[in-house]
Amino acid sequence: MQKPNILLIYTGGTIGMIKDADTGTLRAFDFDSILTRIPEIRLLDCNIETISFDEPIDSSNMNPKYWADIAQIIEVNYQTFDGFVVLHGSDTMSYSASALSFMLENLAKPVIFTGSQLPIGDLRTDAKENLITSIQMASLQKDGLPVIREVGLYFEYKLYRGNRTTKINAEHFEAFESFNYPNLAESGVHLNINKEYLLRVKSTDQLIVRTKMNTNVGILKLFPGISKALIETILNCKALEGLILETYGAGNATTEDWFVELLKNAISRGLHIINVSQCAGGSVNMGQYETSSKLKSIGVISGKDITTEAAIAKLMYLLGEKISHKEFKTVFETSLRGELT
């Protein structure tokens, strides 16, 4: 059996920083010398190559252009490598993992996002464990085929489906959670893979990379006392083509006539409005309460149990693919990459 070939793609972020012992300042880490910095990687049963963005970026500056860059690196190297590990800043990692899951159609190899809360050269860093185990996860094979065939996110002993994750903590090592879907794997003394939760895909289908993302979208979070003027201004934005509406609980919103009328008029003009819950866990269930029945009746699309991060990525993706207005609701409410139940 040949050793799996794994490509590390460094985009930027804390994991790629080292601290100068004398000055305490952080500087970018040269991933070509990764074996020198982390000699333990030599013990892994795989071949590793690295590629870095010309200019590593902070994840706060992440955008669809960089998503396309990552997707194209994977596309160019897809036949050469058995798995990919994307090193990325944690702040927008859930957005990027969600976006790449939609961009990489028919993906049949692992693409594992990871990062860290502390720089790789820090004494107490979480970077080494996250990186080493991500490579191990990407290397897993059975009968010559990858065990994981989807976009995942690995952080602090857990592998999640990427488009199910949310960053929940800016300080703890347990920075991410997947509230509406079980972990794909856990790392302890052994790597425990929850095979029943892995995405099942046909390995014979050719990878298709779709990088057209339409950014004429927005997110509107409801709150008690939100004004008519604010909502009217947002809905009347001429460039807006899709809106994520973060509602209360199971998809509930105010039943004020002016609110419903504004949404109804916007939908009739062609705006796609997606109902996503503000709650970290649970699902939108329009019609369960009177406060969501009106949203359902005027054509608001149910986000079901999708995360806001996956919803905005999916909205950009479907608008970029120019899905017809007639089909849009059906396609959005259908699970394409395991992003909703």
Which residues, including other chains, have CB under 8 Å from residue 197's CB and lie 6 or more apart?
161, 181, 182, 183, 184
Q: What are phi and psi of 190, to 5 degrees?
A: -125, 160
Contact at 8 Å (CB) between 84 and 6? yes
SS3 category, 79: coil
Q: DSSP E strands: which ranges in 151-293? A: 151-155, 158-161, 166-167, 176-177, 185-187, 191-193, 208-209, 217-221, 242-247, 272-277
Q: Enumerate the β-bridge partners of residue 141.
A: 146
SS3 letters across 92-154: CHHHHHHHHHHHEECCCCCEEEECCCCCCCCCCCCHHHHHHHHHHHHHCEECCEECCCCEEEE
Half-sphere exposure of 288 (CA within 13 A, CB side): 12
Q: Which helix (H) or strand (E) holds 317?
A: helix 308-320
The Cα–Cα gap between 263 and 236 comes to: 10
Q: Is 14 a catalytic residue?
A: yes
The Cα–Cα gap between 12 and 58 comes to: 6
Which of 11, 14, 114, 247 is catalytic? The answer is: 14
The Cα–Cα gap between 32 and 271 comes to: 47
The Cα–Cα gap between 123 and 62 comes to: 28
Q: Which two tokens stand for residue 198?
A: 């892995």
Question: Which are the catalytic amino acids?
Answer: 14
